[in-house]
C-alpha cells in the first residue's frame, strides 16, 4: 500500500508539473524545431546524410510533441494564450509555429514525402494569414497602453521569417507539382515580397526603440539575432525563386529577386559582427550570466540559416565564394546547435533530479 501511495503521489506531482509547463509554454517554443531543421538541411547540402537524418528525426519528434502541447494549451488555458497575445515582446513568437511547420515541410521534402509537405504548407498558410492580422492587432494596434515602442524587440522579425518560410516551401514544391506551378509561383513571390516589406517595417520600429529608449544589457537578448536570420531566410527564398521554372510572376521578378538576394546577404554578413559585439558587451562587460533558456535557439536558427543562405545563393547566382562561406560557417551553426542542445538537456536533467529529491 505504501509503495502504491508513493507511486500515485509521484505521478500526481509529475502531472501537475506537466500542466504547469503547458500553461507557461512560451509562444516561441517552436524555435528549437526551426534551429534543428535548418541544421539538418545544411548537413544535407554538405552531403552528410546520416547526421542530417538524425537531427531531422529530432526536429520531427520535437515538432510533434510541441503541436500536441500547443493544442493542449490553447484548449485548456486560452486565457494564458490571450495574455501572451497582448504582450508585444512575446506575441510575435507565435510565428515560430508557422516557420517551424514550414521547416518540417522542407525536411519532409528531403525525405521524399511531398504530400505531407504540401499539406503542412497549406496549414501553415492558414496560420500565417490568421496570425498576420491577429498578432499585430492584439499586441500593438488594439492596446490601450502607449507607447508600445518600448516593448519592441528582436522577436518581431519572426513575422518576417514566417513569411519567407512560406516562400521557401512554395518554391521548393514548385518543380514537384508542375500542375500547381502558377499558384506556387505566385505564393512564393508574394510571400517573399511581403516578408521584405515587413523586414523594413520591423527594422524601423526596432531602430526607433534603440534610439529613443536606453540600451540595457537586459534588453539586448538572443532574439535580436533573428534580425540577421530573417535576412538569411529571405536570401534562401530569393535563391529558390531565381531557380524556379518559367511562370509570369517569376519571370517578371527574377532579376530583381536575384539582385536583392545578394544585397540582403551582404547586409546579413555585416550584421554578424554587430550581434557578436553586443553579445560580448552583454555577457563579458555587463556580466549578465549566460544560462540556458529557450531564446538561445533564436541564435542557432540564424546561424544555420546564414550558412544555408550562402550555399543556396552561391549555387543560384554562380557565386562560388558565397558557397564556400556558407560551407565553412555551417560548422559554427552545428557547434552552436550541439552546445545549445547539451545545455537544454542539462537543464532538464537538473530539473528532474531536483524534483526527485523533493
Hey, what domains does the chain have and what are their CATH numbers? 2-357 (1.50.10.150)
DSSP class per residue in 42-99: HHHHTT-HHHHHHHHHHHHHHHHHHHHHHHHHHHH-HHHHHHHHT-HHHHGGGHHHHH
pLDDT 10s digits, 168-223: 999 999 999 999 999 999 999 999 999 999 999 999 999 998 888 888 887 888 88
Query: What is the model's pTM?
Result: 0.92
Confidence band (pLDDT; 50, 70, 90) for 145?
A: confident
pLDDT 10s digits, 196-207: 999 999 999 999
233 or 5, greater pLDDT: 233
CB 327 within 8 A of CB 257: no
Amino acid at each position: 500500500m505504501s509503495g502504491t501511495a508513493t507511486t500515485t503521489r509521484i505521478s500526481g506531482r509529475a502531472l501537475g508539473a506537466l500542466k504547469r509547463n503547458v500553461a507557461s509554454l512560451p509562444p516561441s517554443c517552436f524555435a528549437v524545431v526551426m534551429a534543428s531543421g535548418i541544421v539538418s538541411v545544411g548537413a544535407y547540402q554538405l552531403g552528410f546524410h546520416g547526421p542530417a537524418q538524425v537531427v531531422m528525426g529530432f526536429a520531427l519528434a520535437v515538432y510533434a510533441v510541441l503541436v500536441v502541447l500547443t493544442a493542449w494549451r490553447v484548449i485548456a488555458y486560452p486565457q494564458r494564450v490571450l495574455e501572451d497575445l497582448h504582450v508585444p515582446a512575446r506575441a510575435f513568437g507565435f510565428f515560430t509555429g508557422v516557420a517551424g511547420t514550414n521547416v518540417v515541410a522542407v525536411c519532409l521534402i528531403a525525405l521524399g514525402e511531398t504530400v505531407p509537405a504540401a499539406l503542412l504548407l497549406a496549414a501553415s498558410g492558414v496560420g500565417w494569414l490568421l496570425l498576420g492580422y491577429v498578432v499585430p492587432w492584439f499586441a500593438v494596434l488594439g492596446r490601450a497602453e502607449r507607447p508600445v515602442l518600448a516593448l519592441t524587440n528582436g522577436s518581431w522579425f519572426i513575422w518576417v521569417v514566417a513569411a519567407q518560410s512560406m516562400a521557401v516551401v512554395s518554391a521548393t514544391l514548385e518543380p514537384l507539382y508542375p500542375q500547381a506551378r502558377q499558384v506556387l509561383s505566385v505564393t512564393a513571390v508574394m510571400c517573399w515580397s511581403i516578408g521584405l516589406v515587413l523586414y523594413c517595417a520591423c527594422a524601423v520600429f526596432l531602430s526607433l526603440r534603440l534610439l529613443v529608449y536606453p540600451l540595457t544589457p537586459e534588453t539586448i537578448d538572443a532574439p535580436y539575432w533573428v534580425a540577421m536570420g530573417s535576412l538569411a531566410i529571405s536570401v534562401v527564398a530569393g535563391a529558390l525563386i531565381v531557380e524556379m521554372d518559367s511562370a509570369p510572376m517569376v519571370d517578371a521578378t527574377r532579376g530583381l529577386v536575384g539582385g536583392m538576394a545578394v544585397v540582403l546577404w551582404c547586409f546579413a554578413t555585416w550584421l554578424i559582427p554587430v550581434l557578436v559585439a553586443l553579445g560580448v558587451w552583454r555577457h563579458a562587460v555587463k556580466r549578465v550570466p549566460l544560462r540556458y533558456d529557450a531564446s538561445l535557439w533564436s541564435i542557432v536558427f540564424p546561424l544555420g540559416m546564414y550558412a544555408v543562405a550562402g550555399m543556396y545563393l552561391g549555387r543560384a547566382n554562380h557565386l562560388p565564394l558565397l558557397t564556400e562561406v556558407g560551407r565553412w560557417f555551417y560548422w559554427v551553426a552545428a557547434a552552436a546547435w550541439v552546445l545549445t542542445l547539451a545545455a537544454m538537456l542539462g537543464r532538464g536533467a537538473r530539473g528532474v533530479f531536483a524534483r526527485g529529491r523533493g
